[in-house]
Chain A
Amino acid sequence: MKKSFCISLITACLFASSFGWAETAIVIHPENQNTLSIEDIKRIFLGKKKSYPDGTKAIPIDQKEGSAPRTAFTFVILNKSDQQMRAYWAQQLFTGKGTPPKDFRNNTDVKKLVSTNPSLIGYIDSKAVDDSVKVIHTF
């Protein structure tokens, strides 16, 4: 009883720290005027959609696997587990259909890259958001 309580408490904390308390923002370049649905975002990150509605090139960038924003993004937006995503990219990669988004170390790197390239789309901790990027969705 005690043990299972401890485990559920740990799980709850892990869950909360990953998804509950830290809000994540999906960000694009401030000059990027496109409106994107969750479905569009998902398709861009799965490599199924390679351009924005206005026809310009869309390039998704990830954070490192295991980071809080990446875990939240994979779970909430892509609706997949890390393992499912690895299997998905293995399928794409070894059939020449696509390569996974490049991943970057932290919120700062992702924010800086997005702020300098109108093609990029990324996600960062909401607390890291400033005027250099435009938030299109938070979760």
Chain B
Amino acid sequence: MKHFTIAALTLATSMGATHAQAEVRFNGFASIVAGMNVEDKKFRNSPYDEDLSFKPESKFALQATADLGNGLSAIAQVIARGEENFDAEFEWAYLKYEFSEHHSLRAGRLRLPFYKYSDYLDVGYAYPWLRTPKAMYRLLFSTYDGISLISQFTLGEIDVTSNFLFGSTTDTFFSTTAPVDGTLKNWRAVNVQLSKDWWNAYIAYFGTEVDIPHAATEAAAGNLEASAIAIDASYVGVGNNIKLDEDYGDFFGLGFTLEPGNWFVGAEWSTISIEDTLYLDSSQWYLSVGHRFDSLMPYITYQQTDTDRNTSTAQLFPAPVQATVQTIYDGLQFEYKAVTLGLRYDFHPRATLKIEYNMFHDIIDLNQATRLGTATSPEDLDMLAVGVDLLF
């Protein structure tokens, strides 16, 4: 009886209209992952080498949610990643104001909702795989500072959630090839999700001004412009077609997930492009199928990424320089296919064990820093990882 009174009081306090003080809730999640490449090779989309390592994909996170009452809440998530030497960083930190049953406004540090699983990219427990398919989930930055308006409504029996956002990202880019600090300015984006019982789908569009003073790109632009001017002075400024100087970049993506009965089918597709810069537009997609047998869920994923050859930028330069420009652009080719076999085992209500075997095929990465495979002799690489995802 006494127990009940306490419970009732707690409920009355937390659910009533008046809040004497904020109710703070702590939750956390963690992944401990060990992996290795099966051969002695390094590949840009594998965080491992041939030695078994626990570091690159392990992480611990703690989230505090403070309900301030009347629709206002504050949320902060701190994450310590093995790849960052477990230095804790704020992944999310924002205020949320639910100003009506259907709309909420968020401001602060938020996740860029490019993909189906963007919002809980780090919460391994929340998706079937050991990791999200890397060909699709290839952008290495995931947060922005700004605002977001989330609206939820229904169309017939379909739930619709839209997210309009505005902000910017300051980060270290090209971290796998040549790290450099840069800014993605003026994000304006929309992500619309539709869902009903056993299916959901989304479509997303993002635009930003990319400003990254990438040393090798700046140097190439300078040298090529100098060569062009030497031929004809009217080519002044032609190097700006190569620099990452506030050029418009955009992302377009869509995907769906079907979960009829014990089946899981997920697919996503996207394109990424940046105008007037030393960058190759790319497209990438995956299809994943799994089936739940009680606590076991085997799955198979096919994924692929391709870059489009750029021949138009070279045309902007005088004829004698064109071949050099073309060679530089062609040197950015990055393509591969992969088949992933995995198994999820829910051995505990708050923990799941996952094992994943990745077979990368037809790798063509001509980038000097990460070179592996060529068009005439593409490379293959297998990667193995075992991990435990926890919720607490």
A and B associate in one complex: yes
Q: Is there contact, CB below 8 Å, between B96 and A96?
A: yes
What's the minimum C-beta distance from A118 to chain B, rounded to whole angstroms?
12
A68 vs B228: C-alpha distance in the bound complex, in angstroms? 78
In A66-124, which residues have CB < 8 Å from any B CB?
Answer: 79, 81-83, 86-87, 90-91, 93-97, 99, 102, 104-105, 108-109, 112-113, 116-117, 119
Q: Is there contact, CB below 8 Å, between B349 and A79?
A: no
Flag whether A132 is at the interface (Cβ < 8 A): no
A113 vs B12: C-alpha distance in the bound complex, in angstroms? 9
| Chain B residue contacts of A137, Cβ below 8 A | none
Closest to A96 in B: B75
**Main DSSP-derived SS at the A contact region:** mixed
A65 vs B101: C-alpha distance in the bound complex, in angstroms? 28
What total of chain A residues lie within 8 Å of the partner, measured CB to CB? Answer: 31
Q: Is there contact, CB below 8 Å, between A94 and B101?
A: no
| Chain B residue contacts of A48, Cβ below 8 A | 152, 159
Q: Per a CB cutoff under 8 Å, which of B4, B14, B77, B349 touches A94?
A: B77
Q: Per a CB cutoff under 8 Å, which of B4, B94, B111 touches A112?
A: B4
A31 vs B82: C-alpha distance in the bound complex, in angstroms? 55
Q: Per a CB cutoff under 8 Å, which of A83, A86, A96, A104 touches B94?
A: A96
Q: Is there contact, CB below 8 Å, between A112 and B8?
A: yes
Flag whether B367 is at the interface (Cβ < 8 A): no
A132 vs B150: C-alpha distance in the bound complex, in angstroms? 39
Flag whether A34 is at the interface (Cβ < 8 A): no
In B116-143, which residues have CB < 8 Å from any A CB?
Answer: 119-120, 122-123, 125-127
Flag whether A51 is at the interface (Cβ < 8 A): yes
| Most interface-central of B14, B94, B96, B101 (chain A CB within 10 A) | B101
Q: Per a CB cutoff under 8 Å, which of A50, A65, A119 touches B349?
A: A65
Flag whether A131 is at the interface (Cβ < 8 A): no
What's the minimum C-beta distance from A137 to chain B, rounded to whole angstroms?
18
A93 vs B197: C-alpha distance in the bound complex, in angstroms? 19
| Most interface-central of B14, B111, B123 (chain A CB within 10 A) | B123
**What is the interface of chain B, defined by CB distance below 8 A to chain A?**
3-4, 7-8, 11-12, 14-15, 25, 27, 29, 61, 63, 65, 73, 75, 77, 92, 94, 96, 101, 106, 111, 119-120, 122-123, 125-127, 150, 152, 157, 159, 197, 292, 295, 346, 349-350, 391
